[in-house]
Structure 1
Amino acid sequence: MKKILIALLSIVFSCSLQAKDRLEVYKDYDLGTEIMTVTTVKVDPNMGDVYLAGLQNSWVKAVKIQKELGYIKDWKIYGSDLPNSGDFNMLLVVTFNNSADLEPNKKKYDAFMKKWTEADEKMSNEIAAKYPDVRKLTGEYQLREIMLK
């Protein structure tokens, strides 16, 4: 009898655990409105400084203009302290206020292009052409914060 009671209690207890085996959006957690785009990069050994020098005159210059114009909230570059481990060792991150900021917009494009000169475009293309010699893009992600309640 004791064994049957223990078995029944175990079943009841496990059923109550299974009832909450998943969470519901907006009930158990909220979704943030900020969007982060993350590019994972595998920079070749001893090429981190070379890659950063290229980014300084291309990607960094472009995101600084976008931030100045208010098109992005922020940008960051992260480098691994253990550069030879894993599928990537550098992250390029851009934070947008919301998903609407990701939509194509001619007015924003035209304002950006007024600040991004033909010389900038030429330099960026020349730098990007050399990137395969120092790095490999390993992934791109679009992330949103999940806030558990």
Structure 2
Amino acid sequence: MKRILITLACVVFSSTLFAKDRLEIYEDYDLGTEIMVITTVKVDPNMSDVYLAGLSGSWVKAVKIEKELGFIKDWKIYASDLPVSGDFNMLLVVTMANGADIEPNKKKYEAFMKKWSEADQKMSNEISAKYPEVRTLTGEYRMREIMMK
């Protein structure tokens, strides 16, 4: 009888632990509206400063214009403290208020191009052409926050 009670107690206890083997969206967690586009980059050893110098005249200049125009919420660059480990050692992150900000938009494109001159485009192309010498893009991700309840 004692064995049956112990077995029954184990079954009841284990079923409560594993009763919910998956969570339900909006019931157990919510999704944020912000979208982060993250590019993972493997910068060659001792080339981070060279790559950052190139980014400052191309990608950084472009995202600053986009932020000024209100097309993006924010942007950031993250670098690993351990630059030679893993598949990437730098992240380029652009945060948008919502998914609609990713969609093509002619008015936004035209507003951006008014601020992004032909000289900017030429310089950006020249800088970007040299990137393969110092870095490799390893991935691009669209991320959204998951908020547990």
TM superposition score category, shorter chain reference: over 0.9
1:8 aligns with 2:8: yes
- Unmatched tracts of structure 2, length 5 or more: none
SS of residue in 2 equivalent to 1:33: coil
Counterpart amino acid of 1:33?
A: T
Counterpart amino acid of 2:113?
A: M
Other-structure match for 2:135: 135
- Offset at 1:21? 1.8
SS of residue in 1 equivalent to 2:121: helix
1:41-120 equivalences in 2 (<5 Å): 41-120=41-120
C-alpha separation in 2, matches of 1:88 and 1:4: 55
Other-structure match for 1:28: 28
Counterpart amino acid of 2:116?
A: W
Give RMSD over aligned pairs. 0.7
- Offset at 1:17? 1.9
Percent of counterpart pairs with the same letter? 79
| TM-score using structure 1 length | 0.98
- Unmatched tracts of structure 1, length 5 or more: none
Structure 1, 1-10 or 79-88: larger mean CA deviation? 1-10
Runs of 4+ in 1 over 2 A off after TM superposition: none
Counterpart amino acid of 1:12?
A: V
